[in-house]
Structure 1
Amino acid sequence: MSDEITVRPLGVDDWEQYKAVRLNALEESPEAFVATYDEEKDYDEDLWRKRMQRSERLLAENGNGVVGVASVGTARPVEDEDNADGLVGELFGLWVTPAARGTGVATRLVRAGAEAAKGQGRRHLVYWVGSDNGRAVAFASGFGFRPTDYRRPMRVKADDSEEEIAMILPLGEDRAVPTLRV
């Protein structure tokens, strides 16, 4: 049994594995997601395959099996033409199994997400974090994400007064903060 963490991208044909880990995440941490287990459990194969094509899905594993997941897609700009070239990626759906939290899995997933975004030609990676979640803000900051002025109401099932903050990671020479849709 190895504790070495590996992260690999999932292909369209890996939809069943992604579905299993996604449903596990929704069931274990319902407060962390916009969707619910009950909403997604009966989605058909076609929908899961389309999801696999929309964004890159990254799976973290160790000797015990699957320990985390994250996704990288295109960030939504303020206006469609602002990111028409797709230069801003978004990291989302980051989840680590409770037993593997604090072991470096999230760091490995974020690093793999940044590499994937850079490989896709993205110049920035945005990650939305609860502004009251000091641990998440500190984690993202320690990784190199910088807070921006962009805020939006929490999209997850939470108190309506809570906000998310967009944190930006430059992936190259361009340090300017891109315009985002909130």
Structure 2
Amino acid sequence: MTDITVRALGEQDWQIYRDVRLAALSDSPDAFAASVAQERQFDDAFWRRRLVRSRRLIAERGDDVVGVVSVGRSPAEDPRSCELFGLWVKPDLRGQGVAWQLVQAGVEQAGTDSFQFVVYWVGTDNGRGVAFASSFGFRPTDARRPMKVTGVPEGTPATQEEPDVPEDEMAMVYSLGEDPGSVPSSVL
């Protein structure tokens, strides 16, 4: 898609980020740990802080924002790693390379910011997400964590009434170094 551009937002672009984040939460509520109702309540100062805390990259087609991804410091103890998170693309453009461009820009941003590893958490039951990340060059690891799901209290097991509640997500890692197969366990 040559008519798609990806750019990093600055702190002054907080309203653009807010709008695309709320659109993502509205469109794909099950894909995020927050809800649109929760985030609509945040004040302007909160949205400004979000742009300082992590890099926010958007995909645009003309003046229309069509996707978003974030790159931020990993909560892991290893300062060489960051996380790629919050990936979303407008439904009518899915499968057309926009997510690829966003991930590519996120990985490049991580390199520019001197990180050596990019961690991307994917639901273990999300075959499409795992395949996408693998095709990009992310490698699965044995690191797992419980997936946070909006509206489901933490620790609630999947039941017959809620068969779609995912249980775990796994860390997939992209190495920015010379040996893409070499990922130290401290990264996670």
Q: Do these two structures clear the TM 0.5 threshold for a shared fold by scoring above it?
A: yes
Q: Deviations over 1:74-126 (max 9, x none)?
A: 1111xxxx32xx31010000000001100100000000000000100000000
Q: Give unpaired runs (5+ residues) of structure 2.
A: 153-157, 159-164
Ranges of 4+ aligned residues in structure 1 off by more than 4 Å: 158-161
Q: Which runs of 5+ in 1 are unaligned?
A: none
2:98 and 2:185 mapped to 1: Cα distance? Answer: 28
Contact 2:173 2:183 in 1 (8 A): no
Distance 2:58 2:116 in 1: 23
Match of 1:100 among 89, 93, 108: 93
Identity of aligned residues (%): 52
User: In the alignment, is residue 176 of structure 1 matched against residue 183 of structure 2?
Assistant: yes
Q: 1:164 aligns with which of 151, 166, 169?
A: 169
CA contact (8 A) 1:118 1:171 kept: yes
Q: How does 1:80-159 map to 2 (within 5 A)?
A: 82-83=77-78, 86-157=79-150, 159=158
**CA distance in 1 between partners of 2:65 and 2:128 (Å):** 23
- Aligned 8 A contact 2:9 2:55 in 1: yes
Inter-partner Cα distance in structure 2 for 1:135 and 1:47: 33
Structure 1 length-normalised TM: 0.90
The one-letter amino acid of 1:120's match is: D
Where do residues 19-58 of structure 1 align in structure 2 (5 Å cutoff)?
19-58=18-57
Say if 1:140 and 1:162 are closer, same or farther in 2 by CA, change over 3 A: same
Looking at structure 2, the residues matched to 16 and 161 of structure 1 have their Cα atoms a distance apart, in angstroms, of 32
Residue 46 of structure 1: SS of its match in structure 2?
helix
Give the Å deviation of 1:155: 1.5
- Report the alpha carbon displacement of residue 180 of structure 1 after superposing the two structures with TM: 5.0
Q: In angstroms, what is the RMSD of aligned CA positions?
A: 1.7
**CA distance in 2: counterparts of 1:178 and 1:58, whole angstroms:** 28
